[in-house]
Structure 1
Amino acid sequence: MRHRLLQSGALSLVLLLAGCAIQGQGPDPQPVLTPDEFAMRIDRLEAGMASRCDAQQQLLDQQLHRQALLDTEVREVGSLLRHLRADIERLERAGGEPVVITRECVADELGLANKAVVGRSEWVGLPDVGTYLKARVDSGANTSSLSATDITRFERDGEDWVRFKLGLGEDDVAVEGVADEWIEAPVERRVRILQAAGEHSRPVVSLLMTLGPIREPVEFTLNDRTHLNYPVLLGRRFLMDIAVIDVAESYLHERPEFPGGRPAEEAELDEAGDRDDDEA
């Protein structure tokens, strides 16, 4: 009996010691952050979230720009489809026989009767500048463009203005002396240009322009076009609601006259080289 009591007591002692050993092997407590360390971690998290937000915003801006371009193209395609559908319906009503439609009727149906017809190249006048210039008419461009150099931004009465000179090459035709004169105009807005070399913006100014019977203020993007054949490009914003292009013609309207310039009847001499380039 005594022997059994000793064995039982020894067993209880072993179990007690084992339990204490197990309790002492728990995980080490995690160190507590100091207020400075906590603030540093929060700052790092905020900086990371701000960087991600900026990247997302840039991606969103790019997608919105692409969407705007696609919307414009869809509207143009839709207009062409409507005109094509109308032609098909007229053919069906005529039993498939060719339908002779006068030019005047087509103009009335398409809303072109009151619009001026311009060729692929035209003379334009800038009364505020005092010169005529050659212009290429291009419906593929959105905004019109004027060749300019020495573009300098300044402020007048709290508004953004620009000072510039006409960017003319050796072969460009203009009133003598105008190329060296400074032109000042308020900035209407700026357009963002995406190119392989990077992104930049160009100022847009509004100048009074004449072309045949048209006399309208036109918004021009200012950029150096001296490496191109025409110092002026007329885009869709100019054509909208006032003119249509006849791509088979050029210089349909007489060159305007300005003090110091050559008479309009001498314009054909300056147009000959352009017609040769088109035919080539």
Structure 2
Amino acid sequence: MDFLNIRSILVCGSVTLFSGCALLQDSQPLSANNKNQINTAELVQMIKNNTERQLTQNDKLLKQNAQLKQQLTNLTKQIAEQPKSEPEQVQCHSSASETNGKAILGEVEWVYLPAIKKHLKARIDSGATTSSISATNIERFERDGEAWARFDMVHFDSALSVPMEARIVRTARIRQASFDKIERRIVVNLSLFLGEKLQQEAEFTLADRSEMDFPILLGREFLQDITLIDVGKQFLHAKYTEDKEG
């Protein structure tokens, strides 16, 4: 073996030796610093991803809130544009003076007598059987074969005595609460109006009521089946209008 061949073998061996060292150095495990750098990079990337994800969710919520706000605005506008309905007109007078087809009367009501064309205050008293009207100077007479009575009815509001005539229908036996004596009274038939709707023929006993507060008393025979009484109220019905008579 000559000198050149030996030199070549030595050079090749040296190259191989250094190449092997380089490979061994590249295959060594990462150092602690390198690991920390990798972990920090991963953490930064993770935070970045989470932040982007949160921002995306916030954008969605903002869009949803904007949509809900717009829907609310549209609904408010629709409600405002709807035509307003007129409130139902309630007839207070009717509801206060009628129920179940029966008239409700207060303790005192205005009564209109067509025979004398006047309004009189009437006391409503379910404790009395027969109605009564104030009468003085009572006289019996006959007309067309029937018994009639002529009397003076005192109009309390004007303190004037008004002459009246009415057909006698019967004679009633009346016992006053303050007297034991039974009194016989003439009973006449009179037409009356109470309010605008209630018109009725009613029987009235003739008696001097000059010491009473009211010239007319309406009893059970008038009230039954057509009226109810609210004793805590007065004048639930307006005065009858004379021009509506008939």
TM-score, length-scaled by structure 1: 0.47
The 8 Å contact of residues 185 and 205 in structure 1, kept in 2 or not, is answered as yes
Q: Partner of 2:174 in structure 1?
A: 193
Q: Partner of 1:116 in structure 2?
A: 103
Change (3 A) 1:199 1:117: closer
Letter in 1 for 2:209: R
Q: Partner of 1:151 in structure 2?
A: 138
Q: Which has the larger radius of gyration?
A: 2
- Correspondent of 2:187 among 204, 217, 225: 204
- Rounded to whole Å, the distance in 1 between the matches of 2:232 and 2:161 is 35
- Rounded to whole Å, the distance in 2 between the matches of 1:229 and 1:181 is 17
Q: Partner of 2:198 in structure 1?
A: 214
Residues paired across the two proteins, number: 143
- Correspondent of 1:229 among 197, 213, 221: 213
Alpha-carbon shift at residue 155 of structure 1 (Å): 1.7
Structure 2 residue ranges without an equivalent (≥5): 1-98
- Rounded to whole Å, the distance in 2 between the matches of 1:256 and 1:246 is 20
- Residue-by-residue CA offset, 1:121-165 (whole Å, 9 max, x unaligned): 111100122100001101000111001111101122322110011
Alpha-carbon shift at residue 167 of structure 1 (Å): 2.6
The secondary structure found in structure 1 opposite 2:147 is strand
More strand by share: 2
Alpha-carbon shift at residue 257 of structure 1 (Å): 4.2
- Rounded to whole Å, the distance in 2 between the matches of 1:173 and 1:148 is 15
Change (3 A) 1:194 1:249: closer
The secondary structure found in structure 2 opposite 1:145 is strand
Alpha-carbon shift at residue 183 of structure 1 (Å): 1.2
- Root-mean-square deviation (CA), in Å? 2.2
- Rounded to whole Å, the distance in 2 between the matches of 1:142 and 1:199 is 15
Structure 1 residue ranges without an equivalent (≥5): 1-111, 260-280
The 8 Å contact of residues 117 and 246 in structure 1, kept in 2 or not, is answered as yes
Q: Partner of 1:162 in structure 2?
A: 149
The 8 Å contact of residues 132 and 206 in structure 2, kept in 1 or not, is answered as yes
State percent identity of aligned pairs. 46
Q: Partner of 1:183 in structure 2?
A: 164
Letter in 2 for 1:222: L
Q: Partner of 1:254 in structure 2?
A: 238
The secondary structure found in structure 1 opposite 2:135 is strand
- Residue-by-residue CA offset, 1:225-280 (whole Å, 9 max, x unaligned): 01010111011111111110011211111123459xxxxxxxxxxxxxxxxxxxxx
Q: Partner of 2:119 in structure 1?
A: 132
- Rounded to whole Å, the distance in 2 between the matches of 1:122 and 1:197 is 30
Letter in 2 for 1:218: A
Alpha-carbon shift at residue 197 of structure 1 (Å): 6.8
Q: Partner of 1:20 in structure 2?
A: none
TM-score, length-scaled by structure 2: 0.54
